[in-house]
Structure 1
Amino acid sequence: MSGLKAYPGSCHCGAVQYQVKLKFPPVHDPSAASIHIYKCNCTTCHKMGYFHLRPINPAEDYILTSPTSVDELGDYRCFAEKHGWYFCKKCGVRFLGLGGSWEQVELDIEQWAGTKNEGEEEKLQKVWKTKGEPKIVEKQGKKVTKPYYLSVNAVTLEPSEDIDLRKWHEKGWILYVETRREDGTPTGTTPHEGGMY
Protein backbone atom coordinates (compact mmCIF):
# COMPACT_ATOMS: atom_id res chain seq x y z
CA MET A 1 0.00 0.00 0.00
CA SER A 2 1.48 3.32 -1.02
CA GLY A 3 2.01 6.02 1.57
CA LEU A 4 3.14 3.59 4.27
CA LYS A 5 6.21 4.66 6.23
CA ALA A 6 8.14 2.67 8.84
CA TYR A 7 8.50 4.17 12.33
CA PRO A 8 10.73 2.86 15.14
CA GLY A 9 9.63 2.18 18.69
CA SER A 10 11.14 0.79 21.87
CA CYS A 11 10.72 0.23 25.56
CA HIS A 12 12.41 2.63 28.03
CA CYS A 13 15.67 0.69 28.47
CA GLY A 14 15.98 -0.21 24.77
CA ALA A 15 15.94 -4.00 25.18
CA VAL A 16 12.76 -4.11 23.08
CA GLN A 17 13.00 -2.59 19.59
CA TYR A 18 10.38 -2.72 16.86
CA GLN A 19 9.23 -1.02 13.67
CA VAL A 20 5.69 -0.43 12.46
CA LYS A 21 4.46 0.83 9.09
CA LEU A 22 1.80 3.53 9.28
CA LYS A 23 -0.09 5.82 6.93
CA PHE A 24 -1.40 9.14 8.24
CA PRO A 25 -4.01 10.47 8.70
CA PRO A 26 -6.37 7.78 10.01
CA VAL A 27 -9.79 7.46 8.39
CA HIS A 28 -12.68 7.18 10.86
CA ASP A 29 -14.66 4.71 8.77
CA PRO A 30 -14.77 1.11 10.03
CA SER A 31 -14.69 -0.30 6.49
CA ALA A 32 -11.66 1.80 5.37
CA ALA A 33 -8.16 0.34 5.12
CA SER A 34 -6.71 2.69 7.71
CA ILE A 35 -4.64 2.82 10.84
CA HIS A 36 -6.72 3.24 14.01
CA ILE A 37 -5.68 5.45 16.92
CA TYR A 38 -7.81 5.16 20.03
CA LYS A 39 -8.10 4.89 23.77
CA CYS A 40 -10.31 2.24 25.28
CA ASN A 41 -11.98 2.14 28.69
CA CYS A 42 -12.06 -1.62 29.23
CA THR A 43 -10.62 -2.41 32.65
CA THR A 44 -7.37 -3.77 31.17
CA CYS A 45 -6.58 -0.79 28.94
CA HIS A 46 -7.80 1.73 31.51
CA LYS A 47 -5.53 0.39 34.27
CA MET A 48 -2.56 0.07 31.90
CA GLY A 49 -3.10 3.55 30.42
CA TYR A 50 -2.78 1.88 27.01
CA PHE A 51 -2.77 4.12 23.91
CA HIS A 52 -3.81 1.99 20.93
CA LEU A 53 -2.30 2.35 17.48
CA ARG A 54 -3.34 -0.39 15.09
CA PRO A 55 -1.58 -0.82 11.73
CA ILE A 56 -3.51 -1.60 8.56
CA ASN A 57 -1.99 -5.05 7.98
CA PRO A 58 -0.49 -6.52 11.15
CA ALA A 59 1.13 -9.46 9.34
CA GLU A 60 3.14 -7.16 7.07
CA ASP A 61 3.32 -3.84 8.92
CA TYR A 62 4.98 -4.82 12.24
CA ILE A 63 8.36 -6.39 13.04
CA LEU A 64 10.07 -6.98 16.38
CA THR A 65 13.84 -6.64 15.93
CA SER A 66 14.93 -7.10 19.57
CA PRO A 67 15.14 -9.19 21.72
CA THR A 68 16.31 -12.24 19.76
CA SER A 69 13.62 -14.46 21.32
CA VAL A 70 10.01 -13.65 22.22
CA ASP A 71 10.54 -15.82 25.31
CA GLU A 72 12.50 -12.87 26.71
CA LEU A 73 9.33 -10.75 26.76
CA GLY A 74 6.86 -10.49 29.61
CA ASP A 75 3.34 -11.54 28.59
CA TYR A 76 0.31 -10.64 30.72
CA ARG A 77 -2.98 -12.37 29.85
CA CYS A 78 -6.32 -11.80 31.51
CA PHE A 79 -9.95 -12.90 31.19
CA ALA A 80 -10.14 -15.38 28.24
CA GLU A 81 -6.33 -15.07 27.82
CA LYS A 82 -6.65 -14.66 24.03
CA HIS A 83 -4.56 -11.48 23.89
CA GLY A 84 -1.01 -11.10 25.10
CA TRP A 85 -0.09 -7.74 26.59
CA TYR A 86 3.67 -7.81 25.99
CA PHE A 87 6.15 -5.86 28.09
CA CYS A 88 9.90 -5.57 28.63
CA LYS A 89 11.03 -7.71 31.56
CA LYS A 90 13.84 -5.24 32.33
CA CYS A 91 12.05 -1.88 32.48
CA GLY A 92 8.39 -2.97 32.57
CA VAL A 93 7.20 -0.88 29.61
CA ARG A 94 4.19 -2.40 27.86
CA PHE A 95 4.60 -2.01 24.09
CA LEU A 96 2.21 -4.39 22.29
CA GLY A 97 -1.16 -6.09 22.52
CA LEU A 98 -1.43 -9.19 20.32
CA GLY A 99 -4.27 -11.59 19.60
CA GLY A 100 -2.20 -13.81 17.32
CA SER A 101 1.07 -15.70 17.33
CA TRP A 102 4.72 -15.06 16.56
CA GLU A 103 6.96 -16.41 13.80
CA GLN A 104 10.63 -15.74 13.20
CA VAL A 105 11.63 -14.81 9.66
CA GLU A 106 14.71 -13.46 7.89
CA LEU A 107 14.38 -10.20 6.02
CA ASP A 108 16.30 -7.12 5.02
CA ILE A 109 14.97 -4.47 7.42
CA GLU A 110 15.96 -1.52 5.21
CA GLN A 111 14.23 -3.12 2.24
CA TRP A 112 11.14 -3.89 4.39
CA ALA A 113 11.11 -0.25 5.60
CA GLY A 114 11.55 1.13 2.07
CA THR A 115 14.79 2.94 2.96
CA LYS A 116 17.27 0.77 1.05
CA ASN A 117 19.17 2.40 -1.78
CA GLU A 118 18.99 0.65 -5.12
CA GLY A 119 21.96 -1.62 -5.76
CA GLU A 120 22.88 -2.03 -2.08
CA GLU A 121 23.71 -5.54 -0.96
CA GLU A 122 20.95 -7.45 0.79
CA LYS A 123 21.45 -7.76 4.58
CA LEU A 124 19.21 -10.45 6.01
CA GLN A 125 18.44 -10.39 9.71
CA LYS A 126 16.21 -12.55 11.91
CA VAL A 127 13.15 -10.66 13.15
CA TRP A 128 9.80 -11.59 14.65
CA LYS A 129 6.55 -11.05 12.76
CA THR A 130 3.02 -11.84 13.83
CA LYS A 131 0.29 -13.95 12.26
CA GLY A 132 -3.33 -14.72 12.93
CA GLU A 133 -6.75 -15.27 11.42
CA PRO A 134 -8.88 -12.33 10.19
CA LYS A 135 -12.57 -12.24 11.12
CA ILE A 136 -15.74 -10.71 9.70
CA VAL A 137 -17.69 -8.45 12.06
CA GLU A 138 -20.58 -6.02 11.71
CA LYS A 139 -19.79 -2.38 12.49
CA GLN A 140 -22.34 0.37 12.13
CA GLY A 141 -24.49 -1.82 9.89
CA LYS A 142 -21.62 -2.82 7.56
CA LYS A 143 -19.85 -6.18 7.29
CA VAL A 144 -16.17 -5.53 7.79
CA THR A 145 -13.19 -7.91 7.55
CA LYS A 146 -10.95 -7.16 10.51
CA PRO A 147 -7.36 -8.31 10.71
CA TYR A 148 -6.32 -10.21 13.80
CA TYR A 149 -5.66 -8.10 16.86
CA LEU A 150 -2.35 -6.22 16.99
CA SER A 151 -2.08 -2.90 18.80
CA VAL A 152 1.11 -0.95 19.39
CA ASN A 153 1.24 1.20 22.52
CA ALA A 154 1.64 4.58 20.79
CA VAL A 155 3.63 6.08 23.68
CA THR A 156 6.47 3.65 22.86
CA LEU A 157 7.01 5.11 19.36
CA GLU A 158 10.02 7.38 18.94
CA PRO A 159 8.87 11.02 18.61
CA SER A 160 9.14 12.61 15.17
CA GLU A 161 7.26 15.09 13.01
CA ASP A 162 4.56 12.45 12.35
CA ILE A 163 4.69 10.84 15.80
CA ASP A 164 3.46 13.77 17.88
CA LEU A 165 0.68 12.53 20.17
CA ARG A 166 -0.38 16.07 21.09
CA LYS A 167 -0.95 16.89 17.40
CA TRP A 168 -2.95 13.66 16.99
CA HIS A 169 -5.36 14.94 19.65
CA GLU A 170 -5.50 18.46 18.19
CA LYS A 171 -6.31 17.04 14.74
CA GLY A 172 -9.09 14.82 16.11
CA TRP A 173 -7.33 11.60 15.09
CA ILE A 174 -7.80 9.84 18.44
CA LEU A 175 -11.08 8.06 19.03
CA TYR A 176 -12.32 7.14 22.49
CA VAL A 177 -13.96 3.72 22.55
CA GLU A 178 -16.63 2.92 25.13
CA THR A 179 -16.05 -0.82 25.57
CA ARG A 180 -17.90 -1.14 28.85
CA ARG A 181 -21.12 -0.86 26.85
CA GLU A 182 -22.31 -3.83 24.78
CA ASP A 183 -21.78 -2.15 21.40
CA GLY A 184 -18.22 -0.88 22.06
CA THR A 185 -18.83 2.15 19.88
CA PRO A 186 -16.46 5.11 19.63
CA THR A 187 -17.67 8.05 21.69
CA GLY A 188 -15.94 10.61 19.50
CA THR A 189 -12.83 12.70 20.02
CA THR A 190 -13.31 13.43 23.72
CA PRO A 191 -12.65 10.93 26.49
CA HIS A 192 -15.31 8.64 27.86
CA GLU A 193 -16.41 9.08 31.46
CA GLY A 194 -13.46 8.42 33.75
CA GLY A 195 -11.11 8.33 30.75
CA MET A 196 -8.10 10.46 29.92
CA TYR A 197 -6.80 12.50 27.02
Structure 2
Amino acid sequence: MYDIKAYPGSCHCGAVQYQVKLKLPPVHDQTVESVRIYKCNCTTCQKMGYFHCRPTNPVENYILTSPSDPKELGDYRCYEKKHGWYFCKSCGVRVLGLGGSWEQIELDVEEWAGTKKDGEEEKLQKVWKTSGEDRFVEVQGQKLTRPYYLSVNAVTLEPSEDIDLIKWHEKGWVYYVENLRKDGTQLRVGEPHEGGMY
Protein backbone atom coordinates (compact mmCIF):
# COMPACT_ATOMS: atom_id res chain seq x y z
CA MET A 1 0.00 0.00 0.00
CA TYR A 2 1.23 3.47 -0.90
CA ASP A 3 1.39 6.47 1.42
CA ILE A 4 -1.01 9.30 0.76
CA LYS A 5 0.36 11.42 -2.06
CA ALA A 6 -0.69 14.55 -3.97
CA TYR A 7 -1.40 14.18 -7.67
CA PRO A 8 -1.93 17.04 -10.15
CA GLY A 9 -4.82 17.22 -12.57
CA SER A 10 -6.04 19.61 -15.24
CA CYS A 11 -8.40 20.15 -18.11
CA HIS A 12 -7.10 19.81 -21.70
CA CYS A 13 -6.15 23.48 -22.22
CA GLY A 14 -4.68 23.89 -18.70
CA ALA A 15 -7.00 26.69 -17.57
CA VAL A 16 -8.29 24.43 -14.76
CA GLN A 17 -5.61 23.05 -12.42
CA TYR A 18 -6.05 21.11 -9.19
CA GLN A 19 -4.28 18.73 -6.85
CA VAL A 20 -5.80 15.80 -5.02
CA LYS A 21 -4.29 13.59 -2.33
CA LEU A 22 -4.92 9.88 -2.79
CA LYS A 23 -3.89 6.79 -0.87
CA LEU A 24 -3.70 3.87 -3.27
CA PRO A 25 -4.82 1.17 -3.73
CA PRO A 26 -8.50 1.46 -2.82
CA VAL A 27 -10.05 -0.91 -0.30
CA HIS A 28 -13.20 -2.58 -1.66
CA ASP A 29 -15.08 -2.60 1.63
CA GLN A 30 -17.69 0.14 1.84
CA THR A 31 -17.40 0.25 5.64
CA VAL A 32 -13.67 1.12 5.44
CA GLU A 33 -12.46 4.65 4.79
CA SER A 34 -10.73 4.53 1.41
CA VAL A 35 -10.31 6.30 -1.90
CA ARG A 36 -13.17 5.26 -4.22
CA ILE A 37 -12.46 4.66 -7.91
CA TYR A 38 -15.51 3.77 -9.97
CA LYS A 39 -17.57 4.10 -13.12
CA CYS A 40 -21.29 4.55 -12.77
CA ASN A 41 -23.94 3.56 -15.31
CA CYS A 42 -26.39 6.37 -14.49
CA THR A 43 -27.37 8.52 -17.45
CA THR A 44 -25.48 11.56 -16.14
CA CYS A 45 -22.14 9.75 -15.76
CA GLN A 46 -22.60 7.85 -19.03
CA LYS A 47 -23.32 10.93 -21.11
CA MET A 48 -20.42 12.81 -19.48
CA GLY A 49 -18.02 9.86 -19.76
CA TYR A 50 -17.18 10.43 -16.09
CA PHE A 51 -14.58 8.25 -14.32
CA HIS A 52 -14.96 8.87 -10.58
CA CYS A 53 -12.00 9.19 -8.23
CA ARG A 54 -13.09 10.24 -4.76
CA PRO A 55 -10.49 11.17 -2.14
CA THR A 56 -10.88 9.87 1.40
CA ASN A 57 -11.18 13.31 2.98
CA PRO A 58 -12.41 15.85 0.39
CA VAL A 59 -12.04 18.85 2.71
CA GLU A 60 -8.34 18.18 3.39
CA ASN A 61 -7.32 16.32 0.22
CA TYR A 62 -8.39 18.55 -2.68
CA ILE A 63 -7.38 22.05 -3.78
CA LEU A 64 -8.29 24.02 -6.91
CA THR A 65 -5.30 26.18 -7.89
CA SER A 66 -6.73 27.63 -11.13
CA PRO A 67 -8.91 29.47 -12.09
CA SER A 68 -8.76 32.19 -9.45
CA ASP A 69 -12.49 31.75 -8.70
CA PRO A 70 -14.69 28.64 -9.10
CA LYS A 71 -17.34 30.92 -10.61
CA GLU A 72 -15.13 30.94 -13.72
CA LEU A 73 -15.90 27.23 -14.20
CA GLY A 74 -18.88 25.95 -16.11
CA ASP A 75 -21.36 24.34 -13.70
CA TYR A 76 -23.94 21.85 -14.95
CA ARG A 77 -26.61 20.75 -12.46
CA CYS A 78 -29.28 18.17 -13.14
CA TYR A 79 -32.17 16.52 -11.29
CA GLU A 80 -32.22 17.90 -7.72
CA LYS A 81 -29.47 20.45 -8.56
CA LYS A 82 -27.46 19.44 -5.46
CA HIS A 83 -24.26 18.50 -7.28
CA GLY A 84 -22.26 20.75 -9.56
CA TRP A 85 -20.54 19.03 -12.48
CA TYR A 86 -17.78 21.54 -13.11
CA PHE A 87 -16.06 21.94 -16.47
CA CYS A 88 -13.61 24.24 -18.23
CA LYS A 89 -15.42 26.93 -20.20
CA SER A 90 -12.55 27.05 -22.69
CA CYS A 91 -11.96 23.39 -23.68
CA GLY A 92 -15.11 21.82 -22.22
CA VAL A 93 -13.38 19.11 -20.15
CA ARG A 94 -15.37 18.07 -17.08
CA VAL A 95 -12.97 17.97 -14.11
CA LEU A 96 -14.99 17.74 -10.91
CA GLY A 97 -18.29 16.77 -9.35
CA LEU A 98 -19.11 18.54 -6.08
CA GLY A 99 -22.02 18.42 -3.69
CA GLY A 100 -20.77 21.05 -1.27
CA SER A 101 -19.47 24.59 -1.21
CA TRP A 102 -16.19 26.39 -1.89
CA GLU A 103 -13.96 28.44 0.39
CA GLN A 104 -10.77 30.31 -0.42
CA ILE A 105 -7.67 29.79 1.71
CA GLU A 106 -4.02 30.74 1.47
CA LEU A 107 -1.36 28.05 1.67
CA ASP A 108 2.00 26.92 0.31
CA VAL A 109 0.95 24.45 -2.40
CA GLU A 110 4.32 22.66 -2.48
CA GLU A 111 4.25 22.20 1.29
CA TRP A 112 0.62 20.97 1.10
CA ALA A 113 1.62 18.51 -1.65
CA GLY A 114 4.73 17.33 0.20
CA THR A 115 7.05 18.39 -2.64
CA LYS A 116 8.74 21.34 -0.90
CA LYS A 117 12.51 21.03 -0.57
CA ASP A 118 14.22 21.76 2.74
CA GLY A 119 15.23 25.39 3.12
CA GLU A 120 12.94 26.73 0.38
CA GLU A 121 11.07 29.91 1.21
CA GLU A 122 7.38 29.77 1.93
CA LYS A 123 5.33 30.65 -1.17
CA LEU A 124 1.77 31.40 -0.11
CA GLN A 125 -0.90 31.24 -2.76
CA LYS A 126 -4.67 31.65 -2.74
CA VAL A 127 -6.43 28.40 -3.61
CA TRP A 128 -9.93 27.02 -3.30
CA LYS A 129 -10.92 24.05 -1.22
CA THR A 130 -14.24 22.54 -0.41
CA SER A 131 -16.19 22.74 2.81
CA GLY A 132 -18.98 20.40 3.66
CA GLU A 133 -20.87 18.30 6.12
CA ASP A 134 -21.58 14.61 6.48
CA ARG A 135 -24.42 13.01 4.57
CA PHE A 136 -26.02 9.59 4.78
CA VAL A 137 -26.13 7.08 1.93
CA GLU A 138 -27.51 3.59 1.51
CA VAL A 139 -25.18 1.01 -0.07
CA GLN A 140 -26.42 -2.54 -0.58
CA GLY A 141 -29.01 -2.12 2.18
CA GLN A 142 -26.62 -0.54 4.72
CA LYS A 143 -26.98 3.06 5.89
CA LEU A 144 -23.53 4.63 5.97
CA THR A 145 -22.22 8.06 6.87
CA ARG A 146 -20.27 9.68 4.06
CA PRO A 147 -18.71 13.10 3.78
CA TYR A 148 -20.42 15.36 1.29
CA TYR A 149 -19.77 14.54 -2.33
CA LEU A 150 -16.53 15.34 -4.18
CA SER A 151 -15.27 13.37 -7.17
CA VAL A 152 -12.51 14.29 -9.60
CA ASN A 153 -12.73 12.93 -13.13
CA ALA A 154 -9.85 10.41 -13.16
CA VAL A 155 -9.16 11.05 -16.84
CA THR A 156 -8.06 14.59 -15.87
CA LEU A 157 -5.33 13.33 -13.51
CA GLU A 158 -1.85 13.69 -15.00
CA PRO A 159 -0.53 10.23 -16.00
CA SER A 160 2.28 8.84 -13.83
CA GLU A 161 3.46 5.51 -12.49
CA ASP A 162 0.61 5.57 -9.94
CA ILE A 163 -1.99 7.18 -12.23
CA ASP A 164 -2.27 4.52 -14.93
CA LEU A 165 -5.96 3.99 -15.67
CA ILE A 166 -5.40 0.74 -17.59
CA LYS A 167 -3.49 -0.74 -14.63
CA TRP A 168 -6.25 0.43 -12.25
CA HIS A 169 -8.72 -1.72 -14.21
CA GLU A 170 -6.31 -4.67 -14.57
CA LYS A 171 -5.55 -4.62 -10.82
CA GLY A 172 -9.27 -4.66 -9.99
CA TRP A 173 -9.20 -1.19 -8.39
CA VAL A 174 -12.21 0.08 -10.36
CA TYR A 175 -15.72 -0.47 -9.06
CA TYR A 176 -18.56 -0.63 -11.55
CA VAL A 177 -21.72 0.85 -10.07
CA GLU A 178 -25.33 0.02 -10.95
CA ASN A 179 -27.43 3.14 -10.49
CA LEU A 180 -30.04 2.79 -13.23
CA ARG A 181 -32.32 0.29 -11.52
CA LYS A 182 -34.69 1.26 -8.74
CA ASP A 183 -33.68 -1.66 -6.46
CA GLY A 184 -30.68 0.22 -5.04
CA THR A 185 -27.03 0.73 -5.81
CA GLN A 186 -25.01 -2.36 -6.64
CA LEU A 187 -21.20 -2.56 -6.85
CA ARG A 188 -18.90 -5.02 -8.55
CA VAL A 189 -15.35 -5.30 -9.88
CA GLY A 190 -14.41 -6.66 -13.30
CA GLU A 191 -17.08 -5.48 -15.70
CA PRO A 192 -19.63 -2.70 -16.03
CA HIS A 193 -23.31 -3.11 -15.34
CA GLU A 194 -25.83 -2.87 -18.19
CA GLY A 195 -25.44 0.42 -20.03
CA GLY A 196 -22.09 1.08 -18.34
CA MET A 197 -18.61 1.47 -19.80
CA TYR A 198 -15.14 0.08 -19.20
Which interval holds the TM-score relative to the shorter structure? Answer: over 0.9
Gaps of 5+ in 2: none
Secondary structure of the structure 2 residue equivalent to 1:187: strand
- Cα distance per residue 1:27-65 (max 9 Å; x no partner): 001111110000001110011110000000000100000
Question: Residue 192 of structure 1 aligns to which amino acid in structure 2?
Answer: H
Secondary structure of the structure 2 residue equivalent to 1:121: coil
Question: Residue 27 of structure 1 aligns to which amino acid in structure 2?
Answer: V
Which residue of structure 2 aligns with residue 196 of structure 1?
Answer: 197
- Cα distance per residue 1:10-35 (max 9 Å; x no partner): 00000000000001100001111110
**Structure 1 stretches (4+) deviating beyond 3 angstroms?**
136-143
Task: Please list, as runs of the form range in 1=range in 2, the aligned pairs for 1:1-197 lying within 5 A after superposition.
Answer: 3-140=3-140, 142-182=142-182, 183-197=184-198
Deviates more, 1:149-158 or 1:2-11: 2-11
Deviates more, 1:88-97 or 1:117-126: 117-126
> In the TM superposition, what is the alpha-carbon distance from 1:193 to its structure 2 partner?
1.3
> In the TM superposition, what is the alpha-carbon distance from 1:188 to its structure 2 partner?
2.9
> In the TM superposition, what is the alpha-carbon distance from 1:105 to its structure 2 partner?
0.5
Contact 2:140–2:185 (CA<8 Å) still a contact in 1?
A: no
> In the TM superposition, what is the alpha-carbon distance from 1:187 to its structure 2 partner?
3.2
Question: Residue 191 of structure 1 aligns to which amino acid in structure 2?
Answer: P
Contact 2:57–2:147 (CA<8 Å) still a contact in 1?
A: yes
Question: Residue 103 of structure 2 aligns to which amino acid in structure 1?
Answer: E
Contact 2:138–2:144 (CA<8 Å) still a contact in 1?
A: yes
Question: Residue 111 of structure 2 aligns to which amino acid in structure 1?
Answer: Q
> In the TM superposition, what is the alpha-carbon distance from 1:137 to its structure 2 partner?
3.5
Using the size of structure 2 for normalisation, the TM-score is 0.95
Identity of aligned residues (%): 74
Contact 1:31–1:142 (CA<8 Å) still a contact in 2?
A: no
